Amino acid sequence: MSDELPGAFAAFRSRDYRVFWSAALVSNSGNWMQTITVPFVILRMTHSATWVGFAAFMAFGPSLVMGPISGSLADRYPRKQLVLVAQGIMMVAAFGLYVLWVSGAASPGSIVALLLVSGLGSGLGLAAWQSFIPQLVPHEHMFSAIRLNSVQFTAARAFGPALAGVVLAEFGPSTAFLFNAASFMLVLVALVAIHPREVEIAAEVPRVLEHFRAGVRYVRERRALVIPVVTILVVSFFGSSVIQLCAPIARRVFEVGKAEYGFMVAAFGLGAVFGTFFSLVFGDRVRRSRLAMAGLVLFAAGEILLGSAPVYSVGIVGLAAMGAAYMFIAVSLNTTIQARVEESHRGRVLSIYLMGLMAGVPLGSLTGGAISELAGLRATVIGGGSIVFVFALFAVFFFDAMEPLNESIDQGSPVHADALLTSQPAIAGET
């Protein structure tokens, strides 16, 4: 591939990165198809938003439990091998969902059990995946790799739900489950075909929990790492978890069908694609603190708009705004962590950050599903958006308007993103 690619896309110069990125795009699209299909079939079986929230909890919750183990393993074993094992477990669970559904043996309990298995596999490999990405590119292309990885994930977040809506309407859940299961094969083939740059692994490391506690101390001593963990937890619990309630919102609030439900989640994904490309192109001109603050305010506004929308089309606008805002926040936080962490602690620090994400979504879905049965879906969504806005005000006064996000690893002082992108940080690996 041409060396003339602009800096924002520089990671694509690496053959291994292109191969893995392409396979991950297809596989994550399949994951999102499953993420959309499961709430649909659970709601059809149970007619309960609480069950929908519980299913989301079981899909994401295990990743929280696996966080300490995942982070420690990612800093002590080859990350490629960990990702291979994790993807294999998730593929088996996905094929299990397909077989259950086509055999007619599916029940809410059996579906949730397979979601638990899939969640454990996801949790095992999550920190390794994020830590592994930098090993596919040269040091100077690290930030390009981080942002393009976000592009891949958010593009899948748009394609997967939109495709799921069409597939559910035309072919049914079995096809959606099968597509997801088959998509894992691409990632497994890609992993076999690529040869990541090796990173140094300590010859002797303490036991898992002691190793993980050292990572927690490392985070607590650095305000630039504490803020991303707290922020992603709040946004996930009170904001992102709302996406898991789109099935009952579509059916009970807007009174629309399968395809429209799929497009609701796709609207969030399309907004996220816009947000990611904006961050990719303009991220070196805007301080991460400002991008994160703008994202918090926009996310709160979009969520409140969704909850108060008089018609379906207005709700779509709210979801698209939430998607764009989420990526302003997530890219800023993720880039900060990758810029601020040393290679020896990368897996554990990323696992702590991802535990905040993985705790927020399932717990928020479970809580939101239960509250919506009592207070109504609209009140639940508006309440979540209001809390995100209050947190934005809190960040202004207690987090110095997110100013610590601009620090570099070298001296712990504020720098512009473009300074990071035009120099090689003192990090012995990539994000």
Beta bridge partners of 82: none
- pLDDT of 237 reads 94
Locate the domains of the chain by residue range: 10-421
Q: Determine contact, residues 420/146, Cβ cutoff 8 Å.
A: no
Q: Poorest-confidence range of 71-85, 142-156, 376-390?
A: 142-156
Q: Determine contact, residues 233/360, Cβ cutoff 8 Å.
A: yes
Range 20-25 contact pairs with CB under 8 angstroms and sequence separation of 24 or more: 20/136, 20/187, 20/190, 20/191, 20/194, 21/148, 21/149, 21/152, 22/190, 23/186, 23/187, 23/189, 23/190, 24/149, 24/152, 24/153, 24/156, 24/187, 24/190, 25/152, 25/155, 25/156
What sections of 194-287 are H helices per DSSP?
Answer: 208-220, 223-238, 246-248, 258-282
Q: Determine contact, residues 298/380, Cβ cutoff 8 Å.
A: no
Bigger pLDDT: 387 vs 265: 387
In this structure, which amino acid lies at residue 160?
A: G
Output phi, psi for 14, to 5 deg.
-90, 120
> Which pLDDT band holds residue 415 (cuts at 50, 70, 90)?
very low
- pLDDT of 430 reads 29
Mean pLDDT of 32-51: 85
- pLDDT of 117 reads 92
- pLDDT of 426 reads 28
Q: Determine contact, residues 366/239, Cβ cutoff 8 Å.
A: no
Residue 411 has pLDDT above 50, yes or no: no
3-state SS assignment for residue 239:
coil
Bigger pLDDT: 411 vs 75: 75
Q: How far is CA 390 from the centre of its chain?
A: 23
The rounded distance, in Å, linking the Cα atoms of 347 and 70 is 8
The rounded distance, in Å, linking the Cα atoms of 119 and 113 is 10
The rounded distance, in Å, linking the Cα atoms of 421 and 221 is 25
- Residue showing tokens 């599903």: 369
The rounded distance, in Å, linking the Cα atoms of 142 and 131 is 11
Residue 36 has pLDDT above 60, yes or no: yes
For residue range 206-253, list pLDDT tens digits in order. Answer: 787 888 889 999 999 999 999 999 999 999 999 988 887 888 899 889
For residue range 329-342, list pLDDT tens digits in order. Answer: 988 898 888 778 88
- Count of Cβ atoms closer than 10 Å to residue 396 Cβ: 13
For residue range 295-315, list pLDDT tens digits in order. Answer: 999 999 999 999 999 999 999
- Range 10-421 has CATH code 1.20.1250.20: yes
Q: Determine contact, residues 378/253, Cβ cutoff 8 Å.
A: yes
- In the chain, % of residues over pLDDT 90: 38
Residue 143 has pLDDT above 60, yes or no: yes
For residue range 175-200, list pLDDT tens digits in order. Answer: 989 999 999 999 999 999 998 887 77
> Which pLDDT band holds residue 71 (cuts at 50, 70, 90)?
confident
Output phi, psi for 199, to 5 deg.
-120, 155
- pLDDT of 423 reads 29
For residue range 343-395, list pLDDT tens digits in order. Answer: 788 888 988 988 888 778 778 888 888 899 899 999 999 999 999 999 999 99
The rounded distance, in Å, linking the Cα atoms of 378 and 390 is 19
Q: Determine contact, residues 194/19, Cβ cutoff 8 Å.
A: yes
> Which pLDDT band holds residue 317 (cuts at 50, 70, 90)?
very high
3-state secondary structure 9-61: HHHHHCHHHHHHHHHHHHHHHHHHHHHHHHHHHHHHHHCCHHHHHHHHHHHHH
Task: Count the alpha carbons within 13 Å of 211 in the hemisphere toward its beta carbon.
Answer: 22
> Which pLDDT band holds residue 418 (cuts at 50, 70, 90)?
very low
